A and B are shown apart, each in its own frame.
Chain A
Amino acid sequence: MATIRIERESGDAESKATAEAYAHAGQREILFGLYDDEVTLLDAVRAANDDHLDIDDVYTPFPVHGLDPLLGLEESRLHIAGFIFGTIGCLVGFGFMTWVFTRDWPIIFGGKPYWSVPAFIPITFELTVLFSAVGMVTVFYIINGLGPGAEPRRLHDRITDDKFCIAFDVTELSTTEVDRLRDYFDRTGVETVHQKTVAA
């Protein structure tokens, strides 16, 4: 089964403050609706933006084109980590081979100079790719609280399969506001609406 892709909302200062306040209680009430189709989902997100509803997060089984700008997500900075790790890998690979073949254990291969740069390039390239790939995955896991041993936090099993989810944090909302959200779900063609208490 495909892993869940988490679209995090950048969020304004206010909602962050609220979340922090309720973090002490350790519980959050989440109201979420499941949609059948990504087109319906995109329309629903647009409707939520028009109604100024504060979406907590959107969960989809696969990356949905055009969702990021609607949710106001900033461009991921993961590739910067990738660049840094790649540079490290490049320098480590090249530096290590230089040290080995010129200082530590110089051997003539095929009549070539000890410091034969062209022969180092493929390995340097491989290490660049390896470092940047492993580094990016590690950073991604750490940032998102994923990885081996991590407790999977999913609202609904079918989000990892074929359902598209819009979630609202209703911990401190009044009943009229919650009704307004339910009404919004009905309007936008939701399939099912659920409420769940999750750890903050």
Chain B
Amino acid sequence: METFVFSSRAKITTLSLMGVGFLCLLISFFVDGGEGHHMRFWTNFLHNSVFFVGIAAIAGFALAAFTTAYAGWFVQFKRVWESFGTFLLPGLFLMGVLIVGLFTHGHHLYHWNDEAAVATDAILEHKSSFLNKYWYTFGTIGFMGLWYFMIGKMRNISIAEDKDDRDTKFTYYKNYKFWAAAFLPIFGFTSAALIWQWVMSIDSHWYSTMFAWYASASLFVAMTALTIMLLIYLKSRGYFPGVNQEHFHDLGKYLFAISIFWTYVWFSQFMLIWYANVGEETIYFRERMDNYPVLFWSNLGLNFLLPFLILMRNDTKRKMGTLFFASALVFFGHWLDFFSMIKPGARLTLIELTEHEGAHGEEGDHAEMGAHGEEELGHDQQAEGHDGDETAALAHGEVVSEGDNLEATAGTQNDVRDNGNVHFDASEQNEGVPVANDFAGGSPSTSGDGIDVLASAANRTDADVFEPNHYIQEENVDDTEMLGHLEVAGGHSEATHTLGFKSGYTLPGLLEIGTFLGFLGGFLFFVLSKLSTARIEPKHDPYLEESLHHHT
């Protein structure tokens, strides 16, 4: 079979998946309107758009990288990846919706798009030359458009090559190679910038230099998994007679290797942040480990442990059943990974928004009262990290330790050093450079005598808790705008520290799964219809023979 025929059954399946997804999006739009600011809808929309756009772009990257490396084994099914790449066109539309939302303030995904917040927030203001809607628009449309153009160019060259029987000098192939080589550096830089804008800036105070690597590794695994599943499907329909165990073995090795690479990057990001223990960085993991433990740990289980153990053996990569199973697992796993990148940050923005509105009402009064009360009562009282609009409330990020587990080790050095010197007044903190105050805080109730604290800390042998810096709320008062909600100092405000379960945020609910299936259906519908417009195997590609006789 030379060309793929998009059977009506496959069409109906993918289209009905799209229908389910559309319905789920619609329901999620209305289910949390008003106070919810449609956050669930927008996060789902962003999550799935970025995930599938990323898969499309990474497919183009794989194509370009393999071509540049003179690889031949994948050539039989390279049309599949070329078709993946064309999904960037509907992807542009999807991301366009988000851009429109950015300009009309239809969504509140990005804290940096809130002018009022930026004005009172030194960090956001500092970042505003990059994190602004114009850059976002330019990056999304410009870079994605460029990718689409270059991948489309490669696809067109490859299709033209099929139709020309007299090309003996490999002109098409050389041309293809040129575009492939040009795509690599461009994609390398632009993809990092885009993933910062799209995903990392949701936690808009937070940053990580590993993030782009981490997200691309995640997408690469997802793309490989989807390719494997699609190829197994296409083979079961009688296409790709030349794609055999050997090719699947190699794809399986990619799945295995990049899963481990993902883990490596994930862990590098985690460990550097954990070790440095800088509050503005640890907040990301603290939030996820405390409030989303299931999501956090299942992410590692699904994306590292399971593929590692399943795909380690030789024969699991050569048997279609196990390979399909592992692919489905990690495909969902990496979708979940993106879920965990997006949802917790967006939920905080949502809380921020709600309290911002509430600041004029009951909650605002409460915050104010708490702040004043604290000033009168002195150091031994709890300060609440409430913000609202009141700068007075903002100013107090005081920590009072109740001697809970978290204090003993991470706090020790600070305690000793500061010896109860904690209280900051508003002016001092507002002038402070971000980060500089990080370790300045101490805890009056546990410190007292430094040596005692050291001794008591040294007696602890069971301190096995992950400990980000819990002086986080002091590091920078400007930052408290957002952090205050998480890092409310001990005692009675402990309750607000833990965010309760919320379907669609803590774990994907049915609506999220439905949306995911909808986007998957849409992706497959587009890819398969593109696949049916050209020969399924590039018959004049100089590496086709090598691909047909590939063995590992």
Q: How far is the CA of A176 from the CA of B267 in the complex (A)?
A: 67
In the complex, B464 has a CB within 8 A of chain A = yes
Chain A proximity mask over B458-469: 1 for CB below 8 Å, otherwise 0: 101111111100
In the complex, A184 has a CB within 8 A of chain B = no
- For A66, the chain B residues whose CB sits under 8 A away are 551
Supposing A75-B314, A111-B411, A111-B413 touch, asked if A118 and B467 sit within 8 A by C-beta, the answer is: no
Q: A119–B275 contact, CB under 8 A?
A: yes
B264 to chain A, nearest CB (A): 9
Interface residues on B, range: 20 to 34
- For B312, the chain A residues whose CB sits under 8 A away are 83
Closest chain B residue to A121 by CB distance?
B267
Q: B267–A114 contact, CB under 8 A?
A: no
Closest chain B residue to A106 by CB distance?
B461
Chain A proximity mask over B284-327: 1 for CB below 8 Å, otherwise 0: 00000000000000000000000000001010000000000000
- For B551, the chain A residues whose CB sits under 8 A away are 65-66
- For A114, the chain B residues whose CB sits under 8 A away are 409, 460-461, 463
Q: How far is the CA of A83 from the CA of B308 in the complex (A)?
A: 12
Supposing A65-B551, A121-B271 touch, asked if A112 and B409 sit within 8 A by C-beta, the answer is: yes
B278 to chain A, nearest CB (A): 12
- For B461, the chain A residues whose CB sits under 8 A away are 102-103, 106, 114-115
- For A113, the chain B residues whose CB sits under 8 A away are 409, 460, 463-465, 467
Q: How far is the CA of A113 from the CA of B551 in the complex (A)?
A: 50
B409 to chain A, nearest CB (A): 5
In the complex, B262 has a CB within 8 A of chain A = no
Chain A proximity mask over B388-428: 1 for CB below 8 Å, otherwise 0: 00000000000000000000011111100000000000000
B175 to chain A, nearest CB (A): 31
- For A79, the chain B residues whose CB sits under 8 A away are 314
- For B275, the chain A residues whose CB sits under 8 A away are 110, 112, 118-119
In the complex, A200 has a CB within 8 A of chain B = no
- For B270, the chain A residues whose CB sits under 8 A away are 118
Q: A117–B271 contact, CB under 8 A?
A: no
Q: How far is the CA of A111 from the CA of B457 in the complex (A)?
A: 10
- For A146, the chain B residues whose CB sits under 8 A away are none
B240 to chain A, nearest CB (A): 21
Closest chain A residue to B415 by CB distance?
A111
In the complex, A73 has a CB within 8 A of chain B = no
Q: How far is the CA of A111 from the CA of B279 in the complex (A)?
A: 14
Supposing A66-B551, A118-B274, A118-B275 touch, asked if A112 and B410 sit within 8 A by C-beta, the answer is: yes
- For B414, the chain A residues whose CB sits under 8 A away are 111
Question: Which residues of chain B from 236 to 276 have a CB within 8 Å of any chain A CB?
Answer: 267, 270-271, 274-275
Of listed A66, A111, A117, residue having the most chain B CB within 10 A: A111
In the complex, B277 has a CB within 8 A of chain A = yes
- For A102, the chain B residues whose CB sits under 8 A away are 461
In the complex, A108 has a CB within 8 A of chain B = yes
Interface residues on A, range: 20 to 34
- For B413, the chain A residues whose CB sits under 8 A away are 111
- For A122, the chain B residues whose CB sits under 8 A away are 271
Select which of A103, A108, A119, A121 is within 8 A of B458 by beta carbon: A108
Q: B463–A111 contact, CB under 8 A?
A: no
Q: How far is the CA of A65 from the CA of B467 in the complex (A)?
A: 52
Q: How far is the CA of A70 from the CA of B411 in the complex (A)?
A: 66
Supposing A108-B412, A110-B277 touch, asked if A115 and B463 sit within 8 A by C-beta, the answer is: yes
Q: How far is the CA of A117 from the CA of B275 in the complex (A)?
A: 11
- For B458, the chain A residues whose CB sits under 8 A away are 106, 108
Closest chain A residue to B313 by CB distance?
A79
Chain B proximity mask over A77-105: 1 for CB below 8 Å, otherwise 0: 00100010000000000000000001100
B402 to chain A, nearest CB (A): 18
Q: How far is the CA of A7 from the CA of B414 in the complex (A)?
A: 64
Q: How far is the CA of A102 from the CA of B467 in the complex (A)?
A: 17
Select which of A75, A108, A117, A121 is within 8 A of B457 by beta carbon: A108
- For B267, the chain A residues whose CB sits under 8 A away are 118, 121
B300 to chain A, nearest CB (A): 12
A-B pairs with beta carbons under 8 Å apart, 12 shown: A65-B551, A83-B312, A103-B461, A106-B458, A108-B409, A108-B457, A111-B277, A111-B412, A112-B275, A112-B409, A115-B462, A121-B271
Given contacts A103-B461, A111-B277, 17 further A-B contacts (CB under 8 A): A75-B314, A106-B461, A108-B412, A110-B277, A112-B467, A113-B409, A113-B460, A113-B464, A113-B465, A115-B461, A115-B462, A115-B463, A115-B464, A117-B464, A118-B271, A118-B274, A121-B271
A-side residues, CB < 8 A to B, are: 65-66, 75, 79, 83, 102-103, 106, 108, 110-115, 117-119, 121-122
The 5 closest A-B pairs by CB, nearest first: A113-B463, A111-B410, A118-B271, A115-B464, A111-B413
